[in-house]
A = this chain, B = another copy of it.
Amino acid sequence: MKPLTIGELSAQAGVKIPTIRYYESIGLLPAPLRTDSNRRTYDAAAVSRLRFIRHARELGFEVDAIRQLLMLADDPAHPCGEADALARAHLADIESKIARLQALRAEVRNMVEPCPQGQVRTCHVIEVLADHSHCLHDHH
Chain A residues close to B by CB (< 8 Å): 48, 51-52, 55-56, 58-60, 69, 72-73, 75-81, 83-84, 86-88, 90-91, 94-95, 97-98, 101-102, 104-105, 107-109, 111-112, 115-123, 125-126, 128-130, 132, 140
Contact = CB atoms under 8 A, between A and B. Distances in A.
A122 B69 contact: no
Contacts of A97: 101
Given A78-B120, A80-B122, A60 B104 contact: yes
In the complex this chain forms, how many copies of it are found? 2
Contact of A69 (B87, B94, B101, B129): B129
5 contacts: A51-B132, A59-B140, A73-B126, A80-B118, A84-B123
